[in-house]
Structure 1
Amino acid sequence: MTLERFARLGPQMLAPLLLAAALVLVGLSGPAHAKRQYTGIVVDAATGQVLYDYRPDTLIYPASLTKLMTLYLTFEALRDGRLGMEQRLPVSQRAAGMPASKLGLKRGGSIKVRDAILSLIVKSANDAAVVLAESMAKTEILFAREMTEKAQELGMIRTSFRNANGLPNRHQKSTARDISTLALALIRDFPEYYDLFATRKFTWEGRTYTSTNKLLNGYPGVDGLKTGYINASGFNLAASSVRYGRRLVAVVIGGKTGARRNRQMKKILGIGFQRALEREKARQLVAMPLPPGRPGTGAPSSALAGIDLSVVSSAHAAVPPPPARRADNAPYGVQVGAFSSQKRATAGARLAVSAAPTYLQNRPVAIESIPDTARSIYRARILELTRDEAQETCQTLKSQRLDCLVVKVSAGG
């Protein structure tokens, strides 16, 4: 386009072009002062045990791995009947103005929910992600708040979302551990939709797109999930593989190229399967007690499904009656944080249990509202520990940069 023709464009035509150009420039440069760094994690999906990790709690820009949360909320809406697979969704001016990667959706057009989902998984389409977001919330900004709330609920306590597609935003952060928690949640909560992540090709309006996840054909047993890239984060990948009757979930962040990211993913999946087999043969799986004097070593660090959290929520919440065998010698507990909502307190307790299961697993949990405060505060405590157990548990949690305070629990809480 010549400068003369560009100058003739009216404001309505210029707006989406300028938005797209700005986003592309930001994507090329990345957020200010950003530094690519490698982080990774491998988790056993059945036990939650971490089989490999390297700086898994380092804050990173999730890039298009953000779309995994957009898909999680889409699957929720499908399950709840708020969306239908064949339902057509309108394309707004904002959605149409998204930069690549995109389908090239036109303002005023529409796309089926099924096609939008597949375009996120296969093509990583930024425009389709915004279409889905706007169909579930009035604006993408409001949808991003719902994404963050869901992240907290799932135990992704270091994650904050600002958009639905992962385009650069300095406030959009996550960690490899949190992304693995999200991948595990997708597999656990939506088995009826998980097979979509194995889609290798997707056709839209006569054009066929091939999946950006090359490990679907490049590593045994890989059946999902998704790639991501912005300059600030490097090449990212969340993947799941099933071998020897065991499913592992792995996350690689910060690859220098897509090929090097894929090689690293193959490497850590190999490490993960080898360690899982070795531990199984040696009968040292996470379900077994760890050796005395080393609490928390090798403990799972991802949020686990099925942890029984006995929630107590009253001004002076009573401690649940302890089992007879611990009634006299376990008057201590650990407080793992104070939170703005009961939901976040429960997520915080769940994370603590999964991070230090040696003493915390199967212990009662109390979520207590604190009276006489200007706003609602909920503290999360895990009970029925001896003093030594409580102290060792806090050491384990603090080593993982989680809050912990040893408390002596009276009959009144």
Structure 2
Amino acid sequence: MLRVSASHPLRQLAFVLAALVLLAGCSTTSVLSPAVDPLESDKYASVVIDANSGRILFESASNEPRHPASLTKMMTLYLLFEAMDAGLLDRYSQIPISAEAASRPPSKLGLKPGQSIDVQTAILALCVKSANDVAAAVAEYLGGSEEQFAAMMTVKARQLGMHSTTFRNASGLPDSDQITTAHDMAVLAVALRTHFPHQYHNFANRSFEYGGKTIRGHNHLLSREGVNGIKTGYIRASGFNVATSAARGGRRIIAIVMGGESAKERDGHMEELIEHYLPRAAIVR
């Protein structure tokens, strides 16, 4: 039996996840008095969490139902990373592209039925390009069908403490029943870094090479000081969403913004949250 001391990093990370699960049912406002005004949108929701302690530094409508859009792909990647760690596939394994997957609307790589894509390129396509055709292909490969994979995603969400999240597809494409909360997305973002630190660097990529072309991403926050991930998303029903990890000087936060009216507004608001709340996070060296 593995024994983990109270000071062991795994114990500390487990504490952070446990704190997030306990806070998921909390309806109180931020622990610190809010100094950043929420966005004026009925789609808006946000939360900032000290990733070292699990403390909520700021929240607004963080437990209200929202559409995840392409933040959904964080769970698609979670299950892909889990399958890799279980030895079911590796970074060189080939994922076939079905006609159904190829038919997904943009954003996409434009893969054709009968093609295949290696796992590492699929990871980059999901992290950087947010490719819907690749998300569907991964779902079919791991789940047999995208519908079955979505059920697997929802089961995993419950295991992680994401009690307000239901997935219906692997991409985040519009579905009225695909629902989450800002807090649940923060739980997922923390879980990705906690359980797959060896994969987390993929979320920091701003571009990758494929088919002789440079594929550039949508996450312009990655150019900001200290930002090291993780994912953007947009559909009309959700507005502009982003999950962000930022770290400086031993401090680290996970922040979620949902429902921006534009990518510029969303990113500007996230920058405000980072600048105000990251200096208030606990230091772990």
TM-score category, normalised to shorter length: 0.7 to 0.9
Deviations 1:190-248 (A, max 9, x none): 0000011111111111121112110110x211010000000011000000001121110
Q: Is 1:47 equivalent to 2:53 in the alignment?
A: yes
Match of 2:94 in 1: 88
Is the Cα–Cα contact under 8 Å of residues 153 and 167 in structure 2 kept in the other structure?
A: yes
Match of 1:115 in 2: 121
Return the match for 1:256 from 233, 244, 261. Answer: 261
Task: Identify unmatched segments of 5+ residues in structure 2.
Answer: 1-40
Return the match for 2:142 from 136, 139, 149. Answer: 136
Match of 1:383 in 2: none
Is the Cα–Cα contact under 8 Å of residues 227 and 237 in structure 1 kept in the other structure?
A: yes
Is the Cα–Cα contact under 8 Å of residues 253 and 281 in structure 2 kept in the other structure?
A: no
Match of 1:275 in 2: 280
Cα distance in 1 for residues equivalent to 2:191 and 2:281:
21
Match of 1:106 in 2: 112
Cα distance in 2 for residues equivalent to 1:86 and 1:213:
26
Task: Give the C-alpha shift of residue 36 in structure 1.
Answer: 4.8
Partner SS state of residue 65, structure 2:
coil
Matches within 5 A, 1:1-400: 36-217=42-223, 219-276=224-281
Task: Give the C-alpha shift of residue 183 in structure 1.
Answer: 0.1
Match of 1:358 in 2: none
Partner SS state of residue 46, structure 2:
strand
Deviations 1:358-389 (A, max 9, x none): xxxxxxxxxxxxxxxxxxxxxxxxxxxxxxxx
Moved over 3 A (4+): none
Is the Cα–Cα contact under 8 Å of residues 234 and 256 in structure 1 kept in the other structure?
A: yes
TM-score (normalised: structure 1): 0.58
Cα distance in 1 for residues equivalent to 2:43 and 2:167:
20
Cα distance in 1 for residues equivalent to 2:275 and 2:58:
10
Task: Figure out how many residues of one structure are paired with residues of the other and give that number.
Answer: 244
Partner SS state of residue 192, structure 1:
coil
CA RMSD of aligned residues (A): 1.4
Is the Cα–Cα contact under 8 Å of residues 36 and 234 in structure 1 kept in the other structure?
A: no
Letter in 1 for 2:52: A
Partner SS state of residue 191, structure 1:
coil
Cα distance in 1 for residues equivalent to 2:55 and 2:225:
21
Cα distance in 1 for residues equivalent to 2:87 and 2:141:
13
Task: Give the C-alpha shift of residue 115 in structure 1.
Answer: 0.5
Cα distance in 1 for residues equivalent to 2:281 and 2:233:
27
Deviations 1:257-299 (A, max 9, x none): 001100000111122123336xx7xxxxxxxxxxxxxxxxxxx
Is the Cα–Cα contact under 8 Å of residues 52 and 271 in structure 1 kept in the other structure?
A: no
TM-score (normalised: structure 2): 0.83
Percentage of identical aligned residues: 47
Is the Cα–Cα contact under 8 Å of residues 36 and 232 in structure 1 kept in the other structure?
A: no
Is the Cα–Cα contact under 8 Å of residues 252 and 281 in structure 2 kept in the other structure?
A: no
Higher relative contact order (CA 8 A, sep 6+): 2
Deviations 1:25-82 (A, max 9, x none): xxxxxxxxxx851110100111100011111001000000000000000000000011
Cα distance in 1 for residues equivalent to 2:187 and 2:121:
26
Is the Cα–Cα contact under 8 Å of residues 119 and 128 in structure 1 kept in the other structure?
A: yes
